[in-house]
Amino acid sequence: MDLLAFGKTGWGDELFYATLMTLAVSITAMIIGFFFALIFTPLKLSKNKFLNLIGNSYTTVIRGVPELLVIYLFFFGGSGAIMFVASMFGYNEYIEINAFITGSFAIGIISGAYSTEVFRGAIQSIEKGQFEASKVLGFKKPLQFFKVIMPQMLRLAIPNLSNVWQITLKDTSLISVTGLVEIMRQSYIAAGSTRDPLFFYSFAAVLYLLLTYMSMKLINKLEVKYSKGY
């Protein structure tokens, strides 16, 4: 237990902050993913063949390629891409972007592909009559979406979004390869300096289990709240 003491003698506080970091990256990635889903879901549902192709390639490529490969692309390519854009504005110094931003972005794009699929499924399972009824009542498109479609869509999407959240949470462990100090990286450091990998990696597993367990409890509550009318 000495190994987990807080302060200078143990790894308790380091692991605590690392857990917060994992949570922060997961939440940021999930929000970035929602933005991507907001852009790509309409594309996937659109009748225009070209827009449809863009939407489909996003979800197909991201869901068919390993997460680790996507992270390497961002880790090695991220600052290059930013520097390329900056050079167009006449800025030629070296720019290094921080691991938190690259990591959340990489995981966010992955999580966005899964969220897109969830939203698409949810919208498609809303009855056609709902669209028609709101049209007949003279709702404009944005109003129709926010007042009629979205509330119903969210209810249908919550169970599947909880799966996306679990995937996202577990995917953040892969960012440790870029050096961001979250649970896995901190365990790696602790295991290296104490020569006790079995304990620290098992403890990391416990931390992840705790995170998934607690988020499941929370999401179940949300689910009950949103399905009140049914």
Partner 1 sequence: MDLELMVNSFPKLLNATLITLKLLSLSLIFGLFIGLIFAILRLKKNIFLNKFAYGYSYIFRGTPLLVQIFIIYFGLGQIEYLRSTFLWTILKEPYWCAIIAFSLNTGAYTSEILRSAFQTIKPGFIEAGKSLGISNKIIFYKIQIPIAIRQSLPAYGNEIILMMKGTSLASTVTLMDLTGVAKYIISTTFKPIEVFIVAGGIYLFMTFIIHNLIKFLEKKYSF
Kindly list the residues in this chain that would bind partner 1 in the complex (CB under 8 A): 60-61, 63-69, 72-73, 76-77, 80, 166, 170-171, 173-174, 176-177, 184, 187-188, 191, 195-198, 201-202, 204-205, 208-209, 212-213
Minimum CB distance to partner 1 smaller for 28 or for 144: 28
> What's the min distance (Å) between Cβ of 28 and partner 1?
18
Q: Phi and psi for 48 in degrees, rounded to 5?
A: -70, 125
Minimum CB distance to partner 1 smaller for 133 or for 205: 205
Minimum CB distance to partner 1 smaller for 139 or for 170: 170
Burial class (CB in 10 A: 0-12, 13-18, 19+), 127: exposed
> What's the min distance (Å) between Cβ of 35 and partner 1?
22
Token pair, residue 164, equals 């996306």
Can you say whether the dihedral through the CA atoms of 42, 48, 54, 55 is positive or negative?
Answer: positive
> What's the min distance (Å) between Cβ of 170 and partner 1?
4
Q: How far apart are CA 91 and CA 81, in angstroms?
A: 13
> What's the min distance (Å) between Cβ of 38 and partner 1?
24
- DSSP structure class, residue 173: G
Identify whether the C-beta of residue 114 lies closer than 8 Å to the C-beta of residue 36. Answer: no
Minimum CB distance to partner 1 smaller for 44 or for 185: 185
Neighbouring CB atoms inside 10 A of 98's CB total 12
Neighbouring CB atoms inside 10 A of 204's CB total 25
Q: How far apart are CA 120 and CA 39, in angstroms?
A: 12
Identify whether the C-beta of residue 161 lies closer than 8 Å to the C-beta of residue 41. Answer: no
Minimum CB distance to partner 1 smaller for 80 or for 179: 80
> What's the min distance (Å) between Cβ of 76 and partner 1?
4
> What's the min distance (Å) between Cβ of 192 and partner 1?
9
Minimum CB distance to partner 1 smaller for 59 or for 134: 59
Q: How far apart are CA 171 and CA 163, in angstroms?
A: 12
